[in-house]
Structure 1
Amino acid sequence: MKEILAQLHQIKVTQNEHGRRLTNIQNLLSNRDRNPPVTQSYSFPSQFFPLKSKESMKALEEILKDPAPKIALKKLLSECGGNTLEDCLELMAKYLCSDEMLSQHSYHGRSGKTSFLNQYPELNQVVFDSLSQNDNAVPVTRKSVDEAFQKILKRGADRFGKKVKPPSKPTSNPGNISIVGAEEAQ
């Protein structure tokens, strides 16, 4: 009988402790609802994107250390569209950076280029989170994004190379070709 009373007393003490904890949790939740955290809205200046210099990329990386710009950029990028992971990522990259900027980066920093992955971790996370919000961009895994982003950077470099490359000169000028006998037919 003494054992049963001791156990009953222990149960009562435990129940009282749980009651106090539950009351504390309820108070915390009700206070949180009355005083929601203030989130500042942020909007990027017009003409901010596409980024055209490494300095502007670094500045964006610093800006993204604050939550408000990070949320704003996630929203912008998630609205870029696309039907596949690669399409979505390409549209995001074109929105964010000029082809010249993309041509100066490789994903891992090979060939003497700047590493997009290591130099801009905040931006990479925002891109990843934005892709995760897009139903068309599946599967969104770190591996699938890494593989696709490497291709996107290469395509940007290729597009930039075509813009900079002077047009090739034709070996013959088809406009100066005369057809023998054309004058006789008239």
Structure 2
Amino acid sequence: MSPRGVTIPEVRQQLFDAAEQVLLREGPSGLTGRAITREAGVATGLLHNHFGDLDSFLAALFVDRAQTATRRLQDLPTRAGTATVADNLMAALEMLFAGNLLALAGLALARPSIVPRLGEALGEGTLELDAGERLFATYLEAEQRLGRIPADADTASLALALVGAAHQLLLTRGPHAPDLRERMRCVVTALIER
């Protein structure tokens, strides 16, 4: 535990990382202030001192992780023409799985009370919830121009189907399900090799 009055460097990220661990281990119902601070090894009141209440904290966590995931996917369109389309898509989807963003999306479904707090958590910034989907679409359009995706393919719908399938598989199987990646590869293959 941290002593009272001692500043903890990077406390936001420490609490965010702890919350992710609790979420992955116990699911949305296990996310309590006490569970998060215990996981982080800090005083129980620290979360409330920095964020006011649990919903504000969870909204800030969601925004932080969504922005991080979007940054990780930024180079996806530049991969067009390299490796295989399926391998590039799987690598991008792996970033979503590894970043636990889809588990956090499940949190928003389980705790709708955090949704109105997203605006507060953003402050002056913006959160484009469809940013990942748009990056997938941009990548698929680039592959389409290279002839690696059929010319008549609806790339926006393919991107939506990929992201939607990833959400569904993660929410119903969990991030550590043994068949998650295998099932996702089957979906990717079915969608792009029509």
Q: Does the pair score TM above 0.5?
A: no
Kindly name which structure, 1 or 2, has the bigger radius of gyration based on alpha carbons.
Answer: 1
TM-score interval, normalised by the smaller of the two chains: 0.3 to 0.5
Name the one with the larger helix percent.
2
TM-score by length of 1: 0.36
TM-score by length of 2: 0.35
